[in-house]
């Protein structure tokens, strides 16, 4: 793959299929080294900042553990304790962090913020989730799909739910880049933005990917290798949208019936966290208000043999390790 040394990782559209494939292969190699207890301090002595303007379990832990395994020192800045955006502009913050750190992870709101951080800090910046994109998640998802199905090319991934947000967008871009068959399944108003769709169609014309937008769930999932879903209301969205989302997206909940229509080969994936039972505060609140005991996926599917969500979660760490190592090293394990 072309070297990513010195480069940021802001969105998958910026990478070639070979670069994405190279990161997935490097992640698989790092995973093997980790399992075999082989040290891999590829980035010894680097300091990195982890800036989180939204909460996180997986992404934060993945960056911290990966940083430690690579021999780096991570500094976590939580959603409340930095000056960023409130008392200090993004360009000023970026120039300060760029003087102290070798790399910066950012999770927050608009994509333009992470792009601006990269422009002004002059060090590699990694997108840990914006409203528009969640590219490190897609690498983990694709490593997981490769582990189960051997290849990515031609595999059919159906995304159910709000396909206009970070997960729907990023999966569409990733599938287009890797020659996969992507289906967004939702009511029309939840289909991805036309400009992004057009950009992905151009990519698809080169890679052989197929992109479809289908409103009927049973038509959409037939023959799917993966049914993927995400929360109906994302971080940072106002609580008022819950009612409309529940009304609009309940027909798109991933159920056992839908999995059966897809076929025996089909796996269930979710970036997590997921609302599949009443063991969360939000889950209980929604139950009290709307009387539903699960949202985007039933507990039956979440806990089923077809569900590979925890493999996916583990792979966040291995893939984020590859992303950081790629920004700092001339070559990666293969
Ligand atoms: N999937 C994901 O990004 O999880 P966190 O919000 O816990 O980081
Ligand atoms: N769409 C979700 C993804 C969480 C990983 C959110 O932005 O909250």
What confidence tens digit (pLDDT) does each residue in 79-91 have? 788 888 888 999 9
pLDDT value, residue 125: 98
Residue 25 is given by DSSP the state: H
Bridge-based pairing state of the strands 181-185 and 156-160: parallel
Q: CA–CA distance from 57 to each of 62, 63, 154, 249, 258 (Å)?
A: 8, 10, 32, 25, 29
Burial label for 170, CB within 10 Å (0-12, 13-18, 19+), is buried
Residues 6+ apart with CB under 8 A from 268: 226, 227, 228, 254, 259, 297, 301, 302, 304, 306, 307, 308, 309
- 111 in active site: no
Over residues 123-147, the pLDDT tens digits come to 999 999 999 999 999 999 999 999 9
> Residue 258's closest CA among 210, 226, 290, 211?
226
Q: pLDDT, tens digit, for every residue of 270-280?
A: 999 999 999 99
The model's pLDDT over 284-302, given as tens digits with 9 standing for 90+, comes to 999 999 999 999 999 999 9
Question: Tens of pLDDT along 189-223?
Answer: 999 999 999 999 999 999 999 999 999 999 999 99
134 noted as active-site residue:
yes
Residue 162 has pLDDT above 90, yes or no: yes
Q: What is the pLDDT of residues 215-249, one digit of tens each?
A: 999 999 999 999 999 999 999 999 999 999 999 99
| Contact assessment for residue 87 and residue 110, using Cβ atoms and an 8 Å cutoff | no
User: Percent of the chain beyond pLDDT 70?
Assistant: 100
- 14, 118 Cβ separation under 8 angstroms: no
Tokens of 146: 């490769």
DSSP states of 315-332 as a string? HHHHHHHHHHHHHH-S--
- Whether the pLDDT of residue 1 is over 80: the answer is no
The whole-number average pLDDT for the span 324-332 is: 97
Cα(56) to centroid(ligand 1), Å:
5
Probe target for ligand 2 pocket from 54, 106, 136, 166, with the most ligand atoms within 8 Å of CB = 166
Total Cβ atoms within 10 A of residue 193:
13
pLDDT digits (tens, 9 = 90+) for 111-123: 999 999 999 999 9
Nearest ligand to the CA atom of 312? 1
Helix, strand, coil percentages for the chain (3-state, nearest 5): 50, 15, 40
């Amino acid at each position: 793959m072309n070297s990513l040394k010195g480069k940021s990782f802001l969105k998958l559209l910026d990478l070639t299929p070979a670069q994405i494939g190279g990161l997935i292969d490097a992640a698989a190699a790092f995973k093997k080294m980790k399992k075999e207890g082989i040290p891999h301090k590829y980035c010894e002595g680097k300091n990195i900042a982890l800036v989180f303007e939204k909460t996180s379990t997986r992404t934060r832990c993945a960056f911290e553990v990966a940083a430690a395994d690579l021999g780096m020192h991570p500094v976590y800045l939580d959603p409340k304790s930095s000056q960023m955006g409130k008392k200090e502009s993004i360009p000023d913050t970026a120039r300060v962090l760029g003087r102290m750190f070798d790399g910066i992870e950012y999770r927050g709101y608009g994509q333009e913020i992470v792009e601006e951080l990269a422009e002004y800090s002059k060090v590699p910046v990694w997108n840990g989730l914006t409203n528009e994109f969640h590219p490190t998640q897609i690498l983990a998802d694709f490593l997981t799909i490769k582990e189960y199905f051997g290849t990515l090319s031609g595999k059919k991934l159906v995304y159910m739910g709000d396909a206009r947000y970070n997960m729907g967008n990023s999966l569409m871009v990733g599938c287009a880049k890797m020659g996969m068959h992507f289906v967004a399944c939702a009511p029309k108003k939840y289909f991805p933005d036309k400009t992004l769709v057009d950009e992905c169609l151009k990519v698809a014309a080169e890679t052989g990917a197929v992109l479809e937008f289908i409103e009927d769930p049973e038509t959409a999932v037939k023959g799917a290798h993966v049914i993927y879903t995400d929360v109906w209301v994302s971080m940072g969205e106002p609580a008022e949208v819950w009612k409309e989302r529940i009304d609009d997206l309940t027909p798109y909940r991933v159920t056992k019936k839908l999995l059966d229509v897809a076929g025996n080969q089909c796996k269930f994936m979710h970036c997590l966290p997921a609302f599949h039972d009443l063991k969360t505060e939000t889950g209980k609140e929604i139950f009290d208000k709307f009387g539903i005991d699960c949202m985007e996926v039933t507990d039956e599917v979440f806990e089923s043999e077809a569900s590979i969500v925890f493999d996916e979660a583990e792979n966040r760490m291995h893939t984020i390790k590859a992303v950081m190592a790629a920004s700092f090293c001339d070559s990666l394990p293969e």
